[in-house]
């Protein structure tokens, strides 16, 4: 009995000590530069958002925030770095929804798990744009589907990660067409490929797609939400032509699991304040996205819910896990 009491007391003392250290760390946090990992190459949504938030975070805390672009293997390299960083609040990861809700179901031997991260807050929510090069002989989704069926396996789509891959594969499955995937390292390269006629189709995040559309460089056939987007009222939902189709993407901030709770709370409070500030929220809305700024618990629930839904969808479509 005495031995058992010693174990219990030791455990209690350890918990108290850990809590005290966490509280002490949060009081002085941050006292050195923060690394903000963007798991994709410069120029894409992850890069834009990490720089936007990093700049504001650095201003508010009078501390340097350095964006570290790690665009390789569809974002997996960046996610792995973020997952394996020390859990001290000095490494943030700008996460796409696919990084923690799709990747675990489509890749074999993924070098990280969703459980390796502690969610902080959801930044944005929004649909993808289905865009094509203006030279493609289709101005509507039904016309594109007819073209794809007339040329099975000949039309191509760009992918930069599992987010737009799942959007395209869902479209293929529901439309009954055969399209060929062409992988690129990042959104910027994929956009260049579409503009140059290397690929025919790209499901692009609105943050990166709206400027290209407004410049007349691409043609938007549809949007992946079930209703029209106020920023693009002339672009019809894909669901108008393919009933039931919907793909909503989002971005969030994650830190390594076991980061002290006081630091998690401090990061959440500051980032939510930034996301909901008039200038940042308006900048996000101007790109057709919704600023969110969720609680830690809301983001945890979202990741759990969408991971289960995506696992079911991937199984239904018959997609087999592959090496990354």
Query: For 153-206, how does the pLDDT look when each residue is reduced to its tens digit (9 = 90+)?
Result: 999 999 988 889 999 999 999 999 999 999 998 888 999 999 999 999 999 988
d(CA 260, CA 258): 6
Q: Which two tokens stand for residue 34?
A: 């923060």
CA 28 to chain CA mean position, Å: 30
User: Residue 24 — very low, low, confident or very high, per pLDDT cuts 50/70/90?
Assistant: low
Question: Could you say which DSSP state residue 200 is in?
Answer: S
% of the chain exceeding 90 in pLDDT: 75
Inform me whether the pLDDT recorded for 98 exceeds 60: yes
The DSSP annotation for 60-85 comes to HHTS-EEEEE---GGGHHHHHHHHHS
The DSSP annotation for 77-143 comes to HHHHHHHHS-SSSSEEEEEEHHHHHTHHHHEET-S--GGGEEEEEEEEEEEEEEEE-TTSS-SSHHH
For residue 26, the model assigns a pLDDT of 64
Inform me whether the pLDDT recorded for 119 exceeds 60: yes
- Cα-only R_g, the chain: 21
d(CA 163, CA 251): 11
The answer to whether 2-126+249-323 and 127-240 have equal CATH topology is yes
Inform me whether the pLDDT recorded for 7 exceeds 70: no
For residue 253, the model assigns a pLDDT of 98
- Average confidence score pLDDT of the chain: 90
- Pick 127-240's CATH classification: 3.20.20.70, 3.40.50.2000, 3.40.190.10, 3.40.50.1170: 3.40.190.10
Give per-residue pLDDT as tens, 208-261.
888 899 899 999 999 999 999 988 999 999 999 999 999 999 999 999 999 999
- Give the list of residues 6+ apart from residue 301 with CB closer than 8 angstroms, or none: none
Which sequence spans correspond to the domains of the chain? 2-126+249-323, 127-240
For residue 289, the model assigns a pLDDT of 86
d(CA 29, CA 266): 9
Residue 296 or residue 324, greater confidence: 296
Mean pLDDT of 282-308: 93
User: Residue 25 — very low, low, confident or very high, per pLDDT cuts 50/70/90?
Assistant: low
User: What superfamily in CATH does domain 2-126+249-323 come from?
Assistant: Bordetella uptake gene, domain 1 (3.40.190.150)
pTM: 0.84
Closest-CA residue to 92 (of 270, 254, 275): 254
């Amino acid at each position: 009995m005495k031995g058992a009491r010693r174990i219990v007391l030791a455990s209690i003392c350890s918990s108290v000590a850990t809590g005290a250290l966490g509280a002490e760390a949060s009081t002085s946090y941050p006292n050195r530069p923060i690394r903000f990992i963007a798991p994709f190459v410069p120029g894409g949504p992850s890069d834009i958002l990490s720089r936007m938030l990093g700049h504001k975070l650095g201003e508010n805390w009078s501390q340097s925030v350095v964006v570290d672009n790690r665009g390789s293997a569809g974002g997996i390299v960046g996610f792995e770095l973020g997952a394996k960083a020390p859990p001290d609040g000095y490494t943030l990861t700008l996460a796409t929804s696919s990084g923690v809700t799709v990747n675990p179901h489509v890749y074999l031997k993924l070098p990280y798990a969703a459980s390796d991260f502690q969610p902080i807050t959801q930044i944005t929510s929004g649909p993808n744009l289905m865009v094509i090069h203006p030279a493609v002989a289709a101005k509507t989704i039904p016309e594109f589907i007819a073209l794809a069926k007339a040329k099975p396996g000949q039309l191509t789509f760009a992918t930069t990660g599992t987010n737009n891959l799942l959007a395209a594969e869902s479209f293929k499955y529901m439309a009954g067409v055969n399209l060929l995937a062409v992988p690129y390292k990042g959104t910027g390269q994929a956009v260049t490929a579409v503009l140059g006629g290397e690929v025919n189709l790209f499901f692009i995040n609105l943050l990166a797609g709206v400027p290209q559309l407004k410049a007349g460089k691409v043609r938007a056939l549809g949007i992946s939400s079930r209703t029209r987007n106020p920023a693009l009222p002339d672009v019809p939902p894909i669901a108008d032509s393919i009933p039931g189709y919907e793909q909503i993407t989002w971005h969030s901030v994650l830190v390594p699991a076991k980061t002290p709770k006081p630091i998690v709370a401090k990061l959440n409070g500051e980032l939510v304040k930034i996301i909901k500030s008039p200038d940042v929220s308006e900048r996000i809305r101007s790109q057709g996205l919704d600023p969110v700024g969720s609680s830690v618990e809301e983001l945890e629930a979202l990741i759990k819910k969408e991971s289960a839904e995506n696992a079911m969808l991937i199984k239904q479509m018959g997609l087999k896990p592959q090496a990354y």
